[in-house]
């Protein structure tokens, strides 16, 4: 093929592209956004597997990407796109703030820690464990003092977990505690709060037990998992072993409503035992 033939081919391609670009389009098609429907569930992706029962059994006990198929040495396009979607959701959960509309709807006043931005929150652990001076002042003046239980909601590492679970969990928890004649302080929200911030809160409001509902570190299986950390009368000598945690609160784990009922029962037992963490677990084992 000589140069002239190549130039002729290029010219025809250019003319065809220009023709398509200049062709009139249907007004409805121009104004309508393209909607791509992507399957919610993960595609198994294996046609005619040698042992379908083994794959189904593995998939039934783990949300890991098992049996998704491949093309050559790579995963299928649909599986790859799902991976990217899950990864983006995990990043959004960490970097996005809990909306003010949600906090207003839940009646949660917003306090803040000494972590002024997400970078300081992620890099400086102590910044997320201490309230800002303004928040300390507010809590001293307006916090409910001397109650049995103080509930804190923290974004932690997943704002998505807070918005997905707290709307159902918080009312269920408060109702369960009040039915047991346990006094509950007015709950509030702490932005960029870590678990240990509950120690400072407990000292200010002088409660018996503080529970933090905090977003867990998101993964590629869910970005909506919430944890509940409980501590009885923390002091300067309190360590991690003194805390009790219930994790994996989300729609595919311990559901929000179930968590509310379970946590209220658990807190009642902790108040009677006057301890949490390892000491509480040992008492339960001894009693049973």
Per the structure block, which two tokens stand in for 200? 């400072």
Rounded CA gap, 77 and 65, in Å?
14
Rounded CA gap, 29 and 31, in Å?
6
Positive/negative CA dihedral, 169, 171, 175, 178: positive
Helix (H) or strand (E) holding 269: helix 256-273
β-strand partners of 211: 151, 230
φ, ψ of residue 39 to 5 degrees: the values are -60, 135
Rounded CA gap, 229 and 165, in Å?
15
φ, ψ of residue 205 to 5 degrees: the values are -95, -5
14 is in an annotated binding site: no
φ, ψ of residue 83 to 5 degrees: the values are -60, -45
Per the structure block, which two tokens stand in for 11? 């010219």
56 is in an annotated binding site: no
* Annotation: binding site: 195, 216
* Annotation: binding site for adenosylcob(III)alamin: 195, 216
């Amino acid at each position: 093929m000589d140069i002239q033939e190549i130039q002729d081919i290029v010219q025809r391609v250019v003319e065809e592209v220009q023709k398509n670009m200049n062709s009139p389009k249907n007004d409805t098609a121009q104004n309508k956004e393209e909607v791509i429907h992507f399957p919610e569930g993960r595609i198994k992706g294996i046609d005619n597997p040698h042992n379908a029962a083994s794959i189904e059994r593995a998939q039934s006990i783990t949300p890991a990407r098992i049996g998704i198929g491949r093309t050559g040495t790579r995963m299928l396009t649909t599986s790859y796109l799902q991976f990217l979607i899950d990864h983006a959701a995990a990043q959004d959960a960490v970097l996005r703030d809990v909306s003010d509309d949600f906090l207003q709807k839940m009646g949660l006043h917003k306090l803040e820690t000494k972590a002024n931005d997400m970078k300081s929150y992620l890099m400086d652990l102590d910044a997320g464990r201490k309230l800002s001076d303004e928040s300390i002042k507010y809590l001293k003046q307006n916090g409910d003092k001397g109650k049995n239980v103080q509930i804190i909601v923290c974004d932690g590492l997943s704002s998505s977990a807070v918005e997905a679970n707290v709307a159902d969990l918080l009312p269920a928890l408060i109702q369960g505690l009040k039915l047991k004649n346990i006094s509950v302080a007015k709950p509030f929200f702490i932005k960029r709060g870590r678990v240990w911030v509950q120690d400072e809160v407990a000292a200010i409001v002088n409660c018996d037990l503080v529970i933090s509902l905090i977003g867990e570190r998101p993964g590629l299986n869910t970005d909506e998992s919430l944890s509940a950390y409980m501590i009885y009368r923390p002091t300067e000598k309190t360590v991690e072993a003194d805390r009790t945690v219930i994790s994996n609160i989300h729609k595919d784990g311990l559901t929000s409503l179930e968590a509310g009922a379970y946590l209220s029962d658990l807190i009642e037992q902790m108040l009677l035992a006057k301890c949490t963490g390892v000491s509480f677990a040992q008492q339960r084992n001894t009693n049973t």
